[in-house]
Structure 1
Amino acid sequence: MATTIIRTPVAEDLPAIAAIESVSDAEPWSPDALASHLAQVHALDAVAESGSTIIGFVCCGFAGDDLEVYKLAVDASWRRKGVAASLLRHIIGIASKKGIRRVYLEVARSNAAALRLYEGLGFEESYRRRNYYGAHGDDALVMSLAVASSG
């Protein structure tokens, strides 16, 4: 079995990222939106790669000492194998070196698997956006994690 590595994405990764995004999110970013994000100076992103195949990605943005996780997705055949946790740990490690003090993310209250992942990494609910996801009326939980500086 090939080793999984976590690294910074390059332009050639965009088709694979877009393919994972298109089947992982009810409101996926377009390939152009993904490319625009990756080019931003305040973007902090990573991909997980097994062999030569992109199996997951995380897209974040930072301002001041806050980092927000915008997108986190893993290819369906690689889910529940620690890929998402590895991506988040990698980003949190980089964030701590950049002086980021808090990482934020948003998750649907009904997404039990994601909640277990985030809580397992130490994220806590900061506040709730009631009926945020209009189509099904689910609440959005905004979760945060304090980051210890290592920079």
Structure 2
Amino acid sequence: MLCRPVTAEDIPAICAIPSTREELFYAFPAAQEFPLTPSTLEAAIAARSDSTVVEIAGRVAGFANFDKWGSQGCTMGNLMVDADYRRAGVAAFLIRHMVGVAYRQHGAQLLALSCFNHNTAGLYLYHSLGFRLTGMEPRQDHRQQPAMLLNFLLDNRAAVV
């Protein structure tokens, strides 16, 4: 596994990662269309920082970026892992990489991320990596049903990832 900056050639593979509307909602709640379109992804990449892919044997296995970044803190978003690589450590590898980018390149003191309550795998992962719950926000999911957005922080002084 290796992490590297996203390239234009990665766009089709990243757009194909979310295989259901629900998966797209978890990774990219602002996306208005399913499947994820190249133009929507390209706009997000342009507006965000440190868009990164995990590559395995020449194949895009995961993607993430920061929607906020700087010395006060970074907020990770658009985290997604291809179904063929789930439960294989790709998400943890990518998150650890992004933690390093936040702390070393941006001098961030905190790394924030959010996860919807229905995303049990994500909740388990963030807990296992030392993120602590800091708040909840009522939202609606992709079906316009009630959902809760859970907010997490990882303090670089306590980070063990």
Equivalent in the alignment of 2:39: 32
Equivalent in the alignment of 1:17: 14
Equivalent in the alignment of 2:94: 87
Equivalent in the alignment of 2:124: 116
Equivalent in the alignment of 2:53: 47
What is the TM-score with the length of structure 2 in the denominator?
0.80
Q: CA deviation at 1:46?
A: 1.2
Q: CA deviation at 1:112?
A: 1.5
Report the secondary structure of 1:57's partner residue. strand
What is the TM-score with the length of structure 1 in the denominator?
0.85
1:128 and 2:136 matched:
yes
Moved over 6 A (4+): none
Matched to 2:102, the amino acid is A
Equivalent in the alignment of 2:66: 60
Q: CA deviation at 1:96?
A: 0.7
RMSD over aligned Cα atoms: 1.8
Q: CA deviation at 1:58?
A: 0.8
Equivalent in the alignment of 1:142: 151
Report the secondary structure of 1:37's partner residue. helix
What is the number of equivalent residue pairs in this alignment?
A: 143
Question: Unaligned 5+ residue runs, structure 2?
Answer: none
Give the distance between the partners of 1:22 and 1:38, measured in 2 at CA: 20
> Could you tell me whether the CA contact under 8 Å between 2:69 and 2:102 is conserved in 1?
no
Equivalent in the alignment of 1:107: 115
Q: In percent, how many aligned pairs have the same letter?
A: 31
Q: CA deviation at 1:69?
A: 1.5
